[in-house]
Structure formats: structure tokens, C-alpha cells
Structure 1
């Protein structure tokens, strides 16, 4: 009986320690809402588009709606894989001082399309194995659901796992925000394509 009590006490103590390191309710809510809202926006922008509209390119060097969706889906999978890899490594809270952006600043920076960025070769539409808009949307939805489930339930100390990105350092919580903001960045790109005067009616 005494041993059982000791085990129970240890379990409770560990639970409290985990809870102390977990993200706050406000942080969890903010990330979940951002993930859901940006997912919804992708589906809303492609809903009802014809094959001609999906394939239309405003210029030879511009992406079509379908290419944007393929990029969103492939990026979602790759970025989430990178985020998971960061969490599997030892926590490195000593690098927190290297983070130069707030959560809100990070989201705004990623979503700002006035700052043009060339993607890596792997994520160029022609190098993505997804065959259609439908296949890309299915992949995106599956990976986004995994990410939403993760952020709603995790007790990981996301703020103490720091990743070094090409634009600077972010913690693993910000990595999740980055993924959500990235999909919105390219949702805006889809809207730009649809706003082109030559977009098929």
C-alpha cells in the first residue's frame, strides 16, 4: 500500500512538472485557432474552381492555383517533420536569447508577401510528387489535423527547443505558428492569381 502511494505521488509530481513546462492555455488556443483558420482559408479559396482555373498561370514564371496548393501541402509535411526533429533533440533553452521576434511578429513576417522568398528546389511545384489539387488537399488536411491534435494535447516544453532557420532562431511553439502562417502566405498568392484580369471565368 505504501509503495502504491509512493508511485502515485511520483506520478502526480511528474505530471505537475510536465504541466509547468507546457505551453499556456492562451498559447494553445492562439496556435489552434491560427491553424484552423489558415486551413479553412486554403479550402475556401480553391472550392469550386474548374480545371482551367486551377491550371491558369498569370505568367510563365508565376505559379498556378494548383501549384500553390501542391507547395502548401509539401511544405506542411516537410516543415512538420523539421519541427518534430527539433523536439527530439535535447532542449537548448540557453539559445532563447537568439530569438529576435515575438510570436505575432513572426506570423506577420511570414505572411507578408511584399518580402519575396525563393523556395528550395524540393518544394518547387515541378519537383513535388503530388499529382493533382485533390491529392494535395488531402495531404494538407491529413498533416494539418496531426498538427492541430499535437498542439491541443502536447505537454512538451516547446519554448525550450530552439531551431535555427535561414531567417533566424525560433522556438518550437513558434515553429508551429510559422507552419500556419506559411500556408496563409500562399493562400494570399492563390488570391492574387484569381484576381488576375486573365483568370478564366
Structure 2
């Protein structure tokens, strides 16, 4: 009898546990989360390597009156992070329209390629314009590290089916909440390229 009860108990534990681990349509898979987090860490590392040793003069250098300094570029990246997470998280108020995995992955690459093409120029919204928030690279590094950590925690923990909700976003076409998560790192890398343009300017302080 005890053996029978134990067997039933184990079966119930397995069934309950399985129900918690079953992915629903539109849910992020373990691989999705791993990819996004790896990309977030990679883009953060690339950004930090370029600015961690900049002097104050280098940090605030502007090639022209109409271009951004390293400080301004980094502040824009920082401000955009929260805005992009909000876009991803709010997708469950849009259209439920799950797509096949081939479409999802093709759109991932399209988002990355589109953002990294610096030939396309865009004006940042007023709320994402720099306002001299970070006086030194050290100040930025500290706050951005915390914010990027919060983004990674969100990706780890989010339970909304972000791959199932789609909405049209101009030149990118219809994208999901998952694509907005990819957008974050692609956006960072876009502005790393902008940063490289400043660092490679012949008038950049040595």
C-alpha cells in the first residue's frame, strides 16, 4: 500500500512539474533567452571597452556642433534602454499573431542588419536626447551596468508570450516583443559604430 501511495505521489509531482515547464504558444524558449542575454552582454562589453579609459576631454569631444560627443552617445543608449524594454513589455496589448520560427529568426536578422546600417540616419525623439547626465565615463559605466543588469533580469524572468504579439513598426514591418529585446543590443551596436566614428576623427584628443 505504501509503495502504491508513493508511486501515485511521484506521478502527481511529475505531472505538476511538467505543467509548469510546458511552453505555451508565443513563450520565449530557453534558447531565446540565452541568445538575447548573450547579445546584451556582448554589446555591453563592446561599449565599455571603448569608453572606460577616456579622459574628460575625450569624453566630451564633439567633431562638429551638430554631432554627438561620446558622453552624449552613451547617454542616449542609456535612455533608450528603458524605452525599448517598455515597448517589449507592452506588446501584450497589441495583436496576437504568432509566426513560424523561420519568420521569427529572419526578422531577428533583419532588425540587426537594419539598425547596424549607419547610412540610414534618424533623429532621436526629444525624450531620448542627451542632456549632459553623465559627467565622466565612470559615472555612466556604473549606472549603465545596473540598468543592463535589470534588462537581463527581465529577459530571464518575463513570462509574457512575447513572441506571439506583433505590431507594425515603420521600416521594420511587423515585429514582436521578442524582436524588441533583440533591438536593444542592435541599437547599442548601432551607436557603438557612431562612437567609433568620433574616436577615429583626426581631431579627437590624444
Q: Same fold judged by TM-score > 0.5?
A: yes
1:147 paired residue number? 151
2:186 paired residue number? 181
Deviates more, 1:110-119 or 1:26-35: 26-35
Counterpart check, 1:193 vs 2:194: no
Count of equivalent residues: 197
| 1:134 Cα deviation from its structure 2 partner | 3.5
Contact 1:162 1:169 in 2 (8 A): yes
Secondary structure at the counterpart of residue 147 of structure 1:
helix
1:92 paired residue number? 96
2:126 to 121, 129, 133: 121
Contact 2:26 2:165 in 1 (8 A): no
Contact 2:40 2:185 in 1 (8 A): yes
Contact 2:115 2:186 in 1 (8 A): yes
Note the residue ranges of structure 1 that are not aligned, 5 or more in a row: none
Q: Distance in 1 between matches of 2:94 and 2:119?
A: 36
| 1:11-90 correspondence to structure 2 within 5 Å | 11-12=16-17, 14-18=19-23, 21-87=26-92, 89=93
- Based on CA coordinates, which of the two structures has the bigger radius of gyration? 2
Question: What TM-score do you get using the length of structure 1 for normalisation?
Answer: 0.82
Note the residue ranges of structure 2 that are not aligned, 5 or more in a row: none
Q: Distance in 1 between matches of 2:28 and 2:104?
A: 17
| 1:154 Cα deviation from its structure 2 partner | 4.0
1:156 to 153, 160, 177: 160
CA RMSD of aligned residues (A): 3.1
Write out the 4+ residue segments of structure 1 that deviate beyond 6 Å after TM superposition: 4-7, 97-100
1:170 paired residue number? 175
Do the aligned partners of residues 101 and 121 (structure 1) sit closer, same or farther apart at CA in structure 2, a change above 3 Å counting?
farther
